[in-house]
Amino acid sequence: PRSTIALWDFLDGRREYLTKSVVAEQLVDAKWNAYIKTRADEFVTISKQKYSYWRITEHLHMDTQIGQMPKDPYFTGQNKNASFTCLCFAEPMLEQNSVYMLLGLSNGSVWIVDTRCNYFLYKFDLLSCAVSSIVSTTTRIIVEGQEDTVLHCWDLKKTIADFDYDASDPEYFFSA
């Protein structure tokens, strides 16, 4: 199954078609990265087995880069049926240079990826069911499970063993 990505401009009440791209896989989710501080617009798409960065050039072409997968075999062995289900960007702190992306998986895990350098950082096993939605605010991350009756919430600003942590410390996103 193929997917078509089409970009439209709806500013000032106009509907203007800008560009499109066709990909060979079925896309599961797509999110605009509103936190990027460059002249180019960027968004990310996910299919079941990969994620891709997209950048719109000045000439309205879409450049793409495949997301880096971790060296560990996350989609083999007991995880061979795992797939990406959703994505979200964590709002960066003012002095932070990068934007962290959270990728939900069907096995209940969440990956954290540094979007500035396209680098996989951490994997957290959070739920016993598929992650269906991730929402990030300046103060917390909320994760919803597909078959769960509870919303799971983690504060981004916290003190652990007398050390203060915030959204610039992704290793501690899901710490108690």
pLDDT of 151 above 80: yes
Per-residue tokens: 84: 């990406």
pLDDT of 25 above 70: yes
Rounded-to-integer distance, Cα 143 and Cα 110, Å: 9
pLDDT of 84 above 70: yes
Strand segments, DSSP code E, in the chain are 3-9, 16-23, 27-32, 41-47, 51-56, 62-66, 84-90, 100-105, 109-114, 119-125, 131-136, 140-145, 151-155, 158-160, 163-165
Chain centre distance of CA 35 = 12
Least confident of 36-40, 44-48, 131-135: 36-40
Q: Could you tell me the pLDDT band of residue 62, with boundaries at 50, 70 and 90?
A: confident
pLDDT at 104: 96
